[in-house]
Amino acid sequence: MEHPLLQTYGPLDGWVILLLIGGVSVCFFLYQVQLATRLVMVGSTDDRFDSLSKRVLEVITGWLGQKRVLEDRVVGVMHVLMFWGFLMLSTDMFDLATANWFSHEVLPNFLRGPWNGIVELGYTTAFIGCVAALLRRVIFTPEKLKGKSQLEGNFILFLIMTITTTSFVVESGESPSSTWEPIGYWVEGLGWGSDSVVLAYWAHMIAICTFFVLIPVSKHMHLVMAFPNVFFYDTEPMAKMRPLAVDENGTAISLEDLDIDSFGVSSYEQFTWRQLIDGWACTTCARCQDVCPAYESGKSLNPMQIIHDVRNYANDHAPILLKGEQPEETILDRMTSEAVWACTTCHACVDACPVYIEHVPKLTDLRRNAMMETMEYPEVLNVAMGNLESASNPYGFGMHERADWAEGLDIKIGQPAEYIYFVGCAASFDERNQKVARATIGLLKQAGLDVGILGMQEGCSGDPARRAGNEYLFQMLAETNMMTFQELGVKRIVASCPHCFHTLGKEYADYGGEELEVFHHSEILAKLQEEGLLPDVEKNGSVTFHDPCYLGRIGGIMDEPRDLIGGVDVEVDRHGKDSFCCGAGGAQMWMEEDADKRVNQIRAKEIAETGCDTVAVGCPFCSIMVKDGLDSVGAEMDVKDVAEILWEQIVARDEEIQAQIAQS
């Protein structure tokens, strides 16, 4: 039969009809894409053209390979079937729009069969994924989709189903090969007439044109923006924040030489162009929402909504923004101050996002402006920030008291040593965590390491100030600590606080600390244990482990603390990189939570459900928050740092030996 595009329909030829509807849809699509691109490019500069090999690899594995999408096995497989299906069938759209010119005139004859096979496989996989997705939405509706409008998503799936099913009918009218096109061959055998083929062709093309119209005005804009979002992903370590300003070498400009007019982000265009792409790359899968501790505890922060706010704000104020003018509504007005200050910076949202959206930096950039420029931040932070500025710790204790916990330990203080134990503020001044510091030093000395502490020369790493947005104070603390490190020749640091571990190890490089080797205490203790310099743990009772966000998900240290305590008996449901936050990060330790919205209570219930006698931790803040949470839910579990567990065993053995000597 004659190709439907070459037939005449009343006064119009088929190609004229397609030119009209296709031209309108493609022009609308291109207009919307260029509008979104212009709104993205309003953003400030961002050097994301480094590490080309890393970026290409991430595109292959993350965009093409869909590795993050597949972390959700059910929904991920559905999406991948449709994604890969459309990649395989895409050339057929061009072929159908040119009356088979591509397949008959351009494609060599020996490739036509395999090409047809790939195209049919694409339509088939897309159809299977589409049907599965529709069943999930309509029949097996997940809790997060209940009560929400499904019109847009269902209509898109209906279009995909139309595109895939009509393709087989169109295929049946073109003498399909039983080898390469078995479904088309089977449909041909059903006896579809030429009128049905023509009707299927136009339904197919209209569905594609409708899809082109809907893509840029719906969440499916991610089909366009996901690729650049993945390619321009942040190659720096997760959660590493950027300095206020950097020189031509990428190193932070010192406070003494710093000359900038504004701090952080107060308006849309101050976000970088890469941060703005996120708004159009979002798939609305709600994975970030599902793992957010602030959202789960009932606070006003929804990381997915934050990303939607970027796009919606831009679209609502597009004419003003493109003129270079400022809308009356600020970006903070749209996102709300309550949402911005609810973030724990745990980065669960960033880790879960299948298209590499960076939620947290937007919030911390807004915090910087609120903290250092507009002064519109939670007043409760004044105490901690004031203490950091005057005493270099958020508790407000005098610096001369910083080494009091080490009395009687016979340890180097303020002297050069192979390893410097960076105690941190909590282990220096919090009575509960001072036990962890003593245990850690005891174990390091037991293994024969040359270890010392800085004493009153140690200052806060600056993590609380930086996550709260007080970047100026953070840099002051960082520069002071770096001067101390350089004076004493510090090269290797052991930290029992994951926040210090992250800040010193990942962020101090921008301030002259690129040669520092920073270890979490569980990391080096497990290594010493493996070398036979420390004994294995003989557990007394069942033990589980709570992964601190800045140690596990962000720091990548998950096996070492478990190895150190001889493994765990029962894992918490959410553990490893999927661990749930204790609620203390992002300077939340120094802010107030509503009694009915406490993150640590959610985590405590999960830990209590393991039924273990002890929960091991590897963070001073987690120790405090988990203990308070367990008490509030009425769970009787011991909370011990991994170093304490091993040290208590060594002390108990020594006491037993001494008792035996005394009896003999």
Q: Which helix (H) or strand (E) holds 90?
A: helix 73-97
Handedness of CA 480, 482, 483, 485 (dihedral sign): positive
Q: Which CATH class is domain 266-374?
A: mainly alpha
Separation of alpha carbons 112 and 202, rounded Å: 24
Which pLDDT belongs to residue 554? 98
Q: How far apart are CA 408 and CA 391, in angstroms?
A: 24
Mean residue pLDDT across the chain: 94
Q: Where are the domains of the chain?
A: 4-222, 266-374, 381-530, 543-652
C-alpha span between 416 and 400 (Å, rounded): 19
Provide the sign of the torsion angle of the four alpha carbons 311, 314, 315, 317, taken in this order: positive
Q: Are 391 and 460 in contact (CB under 8 A)?
A: no
192 has pLDDT over 80: yes
**Which has the higher per-residue pLDDT, 149 or 170?**
170
SS3 323: coil
User: CA 257, 262, 263 angle in degrees (round to 5)?
Assistant: 85
Question: Mean per-residue pLDDT for 51-64?
Answer: 96
Other Cβ atoms less than 10 A from the Cβ of 240: the count is 16
Residues 462-495 pLDDT 10s: 999 999 999 999 999 999 999 999 999 999 999 9
Query: Taking the CA atoms of the chain, what radius of gyration do you get in angstroms?
Result: 30
- Does 646 have pLDDT greater than 80? yes
- Tokens at 600, concatenated: 């640590």
For the stretch 574-607, pLDDT in tens is 999 999 999 999 999 999 888 788 999 999 999 9
Q: What is the pLDDT of residue 147?
A: 63
Cα 172 to Cα 176: distance, rounded to the nearest angstrom: 6
- Looking at the domain that runs over 4-222, which CATH code has it been given? 1.20.950
Look at the block and give the residue holding tokens 């190193």: 251
Per residue in 118-136, pLDDT (tens digit) is 999 999 999 999 999 988 8
Tell me which fold the domain 381-530 belongs to.
Answer: Rossmann fold (3.40.50)
Q: pLDDT value at position 82? A: 93
Mean pLDDT of 253-268: 93
pLDDT band at residue 149, thresholds of 50, 70 and 90? low
How many other C-beta atoms can be found within 10 angstroms of the C-beta atom of residue 436? 29
